[in-house]
Amino acid sequence: MLQRTAPGPVIVVAGSTTELTARQLEALEQALGLRLELVDVGALAGQRDQACGAQSRRAWEIERLASSILAHWSRPCVGIRTSRGPDDLAPGLTARQQADLLDGLGLAVRLALRRAAEESRPAPAGLYTTGGDVTAAVLRALDATAIELLDQVLPLAALGQLVGGPSRGLRLVTKGGLVGGEDAAIRCVRRLRGEA
C-alpha cells in the first residue's frame, strides 16, 4: 500500500482539450516552472504512418511518456497532456482510436509508477487528472476498483484515494475540463502536495 503523504511528485494526466483546461495547465506550468510532456496523439491512438506499424509506434510512445515522467521525478509535479488547446488534437479519431489513446495514457502512468517503485523512488504525492474518460482509463490501468471520496478541492473537483490494485491509497484529484478558474490546476496540485 502506498504512503498517504509521500514526497514524490504529483503526476498530471490531462486529456481535456477545452480552452479553459489549456489556460489552467499553462498557469500551472508557469507557477511551478515546468513543462508537461505533450503526447503524440496519433501514435498513442494507433494511427499508422509509413515508417513503422501502429503497434510499434504506440508502444514507443507509451515508453517515451513513462520515461519523461521518470526523468522529472524530483520535481514537485510531472505529467503529460494531450494538447495545448482545442485546435491541437488530431482530428478524425475513430472510437477505437480514442479508446486506444485513453488506454495509452493510463499505461504510461502505470509503467512510470512500476519503474519508480522498482528503483525505490519516493512514492508519488498523488495524481491529478482532467477529463472523466482520462480518469477512468488511469483507474483501469492501475487496477483500481473505485475512488474513495475524501473532500473537494473546489466545486466539482473531487479529492479521493484509489481503492484496490497495487496503487491503493494513492490520492487523486479529478476535475472536468470546464471546471474552475484559471488557478484550478494550481489549487489541485497544491492540495495533493499538502500545500493548500
Kindly give the residue spans of alpha helices, DSSP state H, lying in the chain: 19-32, 41-44, 54-71, 95-118, 132-141, 184-192
Residue 5 domain flag: no
Q: Could you give the angle at which helices 54-71 and 95-118 cross, rounded to 10 degrees?
A: 40
The answer to the question of residue 2 being in a domain is: no
Q: pTM to 2 decimals?
A: 0.90
56 inside domain: yes
Q: Quick: pLDDT tens for 21-53.
A: 999 999 999 999 999 999 999 899 887 654 555
pLDDT in tens, 142-190: 999 999 999 999 999 999 999 999 999 999 999 988 888 999 999 999 9
The answer to whether residue 90 is domain-embedded is: yes
Residue 99 lies in a domain: yes
What range does the domain containing 187 cover?
Answer: 10-192
Overall domain count for the chain? 1
Residue 24 lies in a domain: yes
Q: What is the CATH number of the domain that holds 151?
A: 3.40.980.20
